[in-house]
Amino acid sequence: MQLKRSFAQFNTDRVIASYFADNTILYGLDIGAVDGVFINNTYALEIEKEANILCIEANPIYQEPLTRNRKLPKLYAVGSENMDNVDFHVVKVHDHNNLSSVSALSIDLELLESHQKHYKISQYTEKVNVRTIDFILEEWNPVKLDLVSIDIEGTELAALSAWKSLDVYKPKLLVVEANSKKHEKLLVEFLQRKNYKLDNKIEVNLFFTYL
């Protein structure tokens, strides 16, 4: 399928669309959806192709706009186990659209240091509820799962490693952000064991397809 507009960084949404036929009724997870529109990997798929995308975001800054912008918002952090009232580290980037790409359950210190060199930032914690991908899918109960886009600032591997039903759903495409070579290597090694191959890489976005 093709998209008329791109909202994603590096045209990632158009690359995602290229993996699916025009008549695909798409079901997907967008984990770390931010406000659901700005540099978002799945917004164009939802508005142009009527894709069914469950959008998940933990950062309180984005919860109200995500609920307003997207059809299926869920306000959770995604992690390796189900927990309530967990500290979520909010990094507010001033004079930069107020959109932080650092906030997470566990801060990526290298990424934080990189931002500190270029922007004025402030940090604080908020209590959030953490849910596993298994819990989220059991709650949603989609008829299938074609796509998972996950960008949760260095905690992607922990969330994916705890996903027991990955072998059941077998989504055609996983799009995972890796902010370092070390993180990329660990993701590739883990997903290879789950019968996924690294099919494409665009900047920090890794495209894995099921074998």
- β-bridge pairing 173-177 and 205-210: antiparallel
Task: Identify whether the C-beta of residue 74 lies closer than 8 Å to the C-beta of residue 54.
Answer: yes
Residues with Cβ within 8 Å of residue 20, at least 6 apart in sequence: 1, 26, 146, 147, 172, 173
Residue with tokens 């890489």: 201
- What pLDDT is recorded for position 107? 77
Model confidence, pTM: 0.92
- What is the structure's pLDDT at 99? 54
In this structure, are residues 91 and 103 in contact, taking their beta carbons and an 8 Å threshold? yes
**For residue 97, what pLDDT is reported?**
54
Strand partners, 175: 149, 207
**Sequential pLDDT tens for the chain (211 residues):** 999 999 999 999 999 999 999 999 999 999 999 999 999 999 999 999 999 999 999 998 899 999 999 999 999 999 999 999 999 988 877 655 555 567 888 877 777 777 677 778 888 999 999 999 999 999 999 999 999 999 998 899 999 999 999 999 999 999 999 988 999 999 999 999 999 999 999 999 999 999 9
